[in-house]
């Protein structure tokens, strides 16, 4: 019974999360000659697209961190206008240099139930010139409902993206079937919220989507 309730809950949240029909886009052209070394430094999220329509944060930044056991990404943001939070994921670097832009990110949650402890997501660089803009997307597919979820980050080295860079940044969105008019502009005011979390939390961007359908 408990299982049934849990499964039902799982399906409901899966349906709210996965809204785009069918599988994730395939054969997407990514940034050529992508160099992770040039991606270091702070990036401001200036626009985003979330296929489930959820917009829960402002003032998001993304920054790589080098640790002894690998390269990590720090996604920081202000959630619901009140909480300053960040999430740390480990970057999965493709072994094949030809696909250098085909990154992944792995989040580990030690307190979560076993199946939900480790979560992998694609983190693919559609375009970047390293100095001004970067366009990244993730996609998760649920065979349970045969739908997918997409999130797009339009990142900028400055809180404001110049028009030329914006054009270049949004150009590859048609590759993944996203209409650029659906991008949401991020707020860069009110970035000093009341509460600051000092330890990493679960990211909103990558909710529990993928592992849910593994429930047996």
Ligand X SMILES: *[C@@H]1O[C@H](CO)[C@@H](O)[C@H](O)[C@H]1NC(C)=O
What is the binding site for ligand X (CB under 6 A)?
55-58, 61, 65, 74, 76, 80-81, 86, 88, 187, 189-190
Identity of the residue, 45 or 76, whose beta carbon is nearer to ligand X in the bound complex: 76
Identity of the residue, 51 or 76, whose beta carbon is nearer to ligand X in the bound complex: 76
H/E element holding 121? Answer: strand 118-128
8 Å CB contact between 62 and 45:
yes
Q: Nearest distance from residue 83's CB to ligand X, in Å? A: 9
Q: Nearest distance from residue 81's CB to ligand X, in Å? A: 4
Q: Nearest distance from residue 65's CB to ligand X, in Å? A: 6
Q: ∠ CA 94-133-207 to the nearest 5 degrees?
A: 60
The DSSP 8-state label assigned to residue 28 in this structure reads P
> What residues form DSSP beta bridges with 49?
152
Alpha-carbon torsion 20, 43, 46, 165, what sign?
negative
Q: Nearest distance from residue 13's CB to ligand X, in Å? A: 19
Identity of the residue, 78 or 127, whose beta carbon is nearer to ligand X in the bound complex: 78
Name residue, tokens 């330890």: 199
């Amino acid at each position: 019974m408990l299982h049934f309730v849990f499964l039902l809950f799982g399906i409901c949240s899966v349906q709210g999360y996965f809204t785009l029909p069918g599988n994730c886009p395939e054969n997407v052209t990514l940034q050529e000659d992508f160099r992770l070394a040039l991606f270091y430094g702070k990036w401001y999220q200036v626009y985003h697209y979330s296929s489930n329509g959820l917009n829960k944060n402002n003032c998001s930044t993304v920054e790589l961190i080098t640790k002894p056991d690998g390269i990590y990404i720090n996604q920081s943001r202000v959630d619901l206008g009140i909480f300053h939070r960040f999430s740390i994921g480990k970057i999965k670097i493709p072994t094949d240099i030809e696909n250098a832009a085909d990154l992944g990110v792995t989040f580990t949650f030690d307190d979560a139930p076993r199946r939900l402890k480790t979560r992998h997501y694609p983190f693919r660089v559609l375009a970047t010139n390293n100095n001004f803009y970067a366009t990244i997307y993730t996609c998760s597919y649920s065979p349970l409902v045969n739908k997918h979820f997409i999130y797009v980050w339009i990142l900028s080295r400055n809180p404001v993206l110049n028009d030329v860079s914006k054009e270049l940044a949004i150009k590859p969105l048609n590759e993944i079937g996203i209409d650029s008019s659906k991008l949401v502009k991020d707020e860069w005011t009110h970035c000093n919220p009341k509460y600051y979390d000092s330890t990493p939390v679960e990211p909103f961007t990558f909710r529990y989507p993928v592992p849910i359908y593994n429930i047996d």
